[in-house]
Amino acid sequence: MPRTPRKSEVLASSLVSSVNHALGKLLDIWHQIGIKEEMQLERMQAVKQHIEDLLNEMITEECQLKERIESSIERRKKELTSLRNELSLDPYLAEEDISILQMEKDLRLALDATLKEKNERLEELKQLQQQDEKLCAELFTTPYYIPTGSIPSRLQLEELKEHVRMRSDEKKQRLEVFLKLRNEIRQYNEEIGHTPDSTLEKEALSDDEEPFCLTNKNIEALQTLVNKLQLKKESVISTREALKEKVRLLWNRLRWPLEKQEQCKMNIKGSITQEVTMWEEVLLRLEELKKENLKGVIGKVRQELDLYWEKCLYSTEQKSAFHPYYDDNFTEDLLNQHDEEVMKMKLFYEKNKALYDGIAKWEATWKQFMELEKKSTNPNRLVNRGGTLLKEERERSKIHKLLTKLGEDLKRSIESWEKEQGCNFLIKGQRFLDYMANQWEQHKLKKEQERLTKKEDSAVLKTPMKRHAGSTTQTPLKTRKLHGVTNFTVLRAASCISLTSTGTAAVARTPIPVCKTPSKSTPPESLQPARLQEDKENQQTSKSINQFSYLDFTKDLSKKTSNTSGIFNSTVNENRY
């Protein structure tokens, strides 16, 4: 299949045909004119020369155009390579198998795009640097460094953006702290009547549009100023409260009417410093009145001192150590001595209030324990007991444990106090630990004395009495009603309960010999259960009187003899006589 000619080839053949047609027409014209052949050749040569010159000129121009395009390609390649290196971009890769004109166009477009990116980066860098410099000037920090004249990379621009963002956040945080500190300073100044005296404080409180330099040093200085103002406020408040307390004491000592007190409080208004000044004036006036009424005022102070002596459990010897208390020469110096003593006692009591509260709790618990101990020795508690004996014993055990725990806690606390202070903690003139030990020792001796007394009384009352041989005594029957139940009991002996001044009791009984053979004096079988019941009750009564512990009583009562009848030991021992 023949190749289809290109358009340029068709155009070239058409051009050759046109030239041939033109030359043929020129020859015809020259023949018609009658120009000789030599002249025609010359003219034909001239036409040829014109055509060749024109074509050569065109070829030259097109070659020059090609050279310019190639030169432009090389130049743009160099510029693009250099620019992309400055921008930290990858080298430009041109397409293959394209014309030089297309390559020149592609390079020109790529160079334009790269130049645009360069300009954008430089513009963004300029804006970011302006923001960074402004923030760093306000925060007194170092700007982000980028070499002058260099084109920042995308990474550098991102880092600069992050740097500016962080500085902006830091400024926001510092501004919040600054505004908070400024408000606190203004509030403290208003409350205590303080006037700004330092340059930093004046600049911080100024309402000028010029921004405050938010450096770390300035923020720390403002925080220090706030702390100082806070301490000053606390000091002024403490002074005011101390003045109010002094005024209150003088009001009480001078018996100042409540109406006047309330009116005085209502009139004192303003900043804390102003209130301090007003209270000082009130105190000064009351001090003058106090001097005019020293005797009554000292009497009031002595009453207050008595109260603290009572709270601190002072003994008479300790009170007597303060000699001004007994001085009747009422002077300002005497009042000052009393005031100092009251303040000393007040501080001592408040400092050791926990110890005194523990001692008071121990004393109250000890009192309860003594009451329960006293109940345990009372024989009347066995009558109509209804289960209360076990309750009392449980309560006594509970109180005893609590008393022991309180004593141990107090012992540790007081020993620690004495170790820290280097002196003894005195209660009623003696160490509390000795006082507590003496209480237990006296209680132990008292119980031992009661036990010995009961033992002697019991030994005397239980001595057997002689009887005539073969004689028997018929015990009368007695009807008793306990808790609504009637029990018949055979009384074998007359019992006598005598109470001593210490609350001890003794039971006297006439023992009856055990009859091994039936006799007329033996109770009938219908009365034997009642007799056993009565024997058990009598023995229980004797046990409770001779023993101070309910647990010992129940333990002894629950024992059984080896007798197969299962009679309690108390009954067997009694019948043994």
Sign, Cα dihedral of 350, 351, 354, 357: negative
Residue 56 pLDDT level (bands cut at 50, 70, 90):
very high
What pLDDT does residue 378 have? 67
What pLDDT does residue 253 have? 78
Rounded CA-CA distance 168/131 in Å is 9
What pLDDT does residue 3 have? 65
φ, ψ for residue 492, nearest 5 deg: -95, -20
Return the structure tokens found at 361: 């709790």
Rounded CA-CA distance 21/44 in Å is 13
What pLDDT does residue 50 have? 92
Name the DSSP letter for residue 488: E
CB 185 within 8 A of CB 222: yes
Long-range contacts of 456-462 (CB under 8 A, 24+ apart): 457/504, 457/506, 458/506, 458/542, 458/546, 460/506, 461/506, 461/507, 461/508, 461/509, 462/509, 462/511
Q: Nearest-CA neighbor of 548 among 497, 504, 500? A: 504
Residue type, 300: K
Average pLDDT estimate for 238-250: 90
What is the rounded average pLDDT for all residues in the chain? 76
CB 379 within 8 A of CB 547: no
What pLDDT does residue 458 have? 67
Higher per-residue pLDDT: 203 or 527: 203
What lies within 8 Å, CB to CB, of 339 at 6+ separation is: 301
Q: Nearest-CA neighbor of 234 among 293, 188, 198, 203? A: 188
CB 275 within 8 A of CB 264: no
Weakest-pLDDT range from 244-248, 377-381, 466-470? 466-470
Q: Residue 263: pLDDT above 80?
A: yes
What pLDDT does residue 448 have? 83
CB 399 within 8 A of CB 366: no
Weakest-pLDDT range from 146-150, 177-181, 223-227, 351-355? 146-150
Higher per-residue pLDDT: 565 or 24: 24
Weakest-pLDDT range from 1-5, 110-114, 212-216, 514-518? 514-518
What pLDDT does residue 383 have? 59
Q: Residue 526: pLDDT above 90?
A: no
Average pLDDT estimate for 103-129: 91
What pLDDT does residue 219 have? 86
Q: Residue 34: pLDDT above 70?
A: yes
Rounded CA-CA distance 30/145 in Å is 86
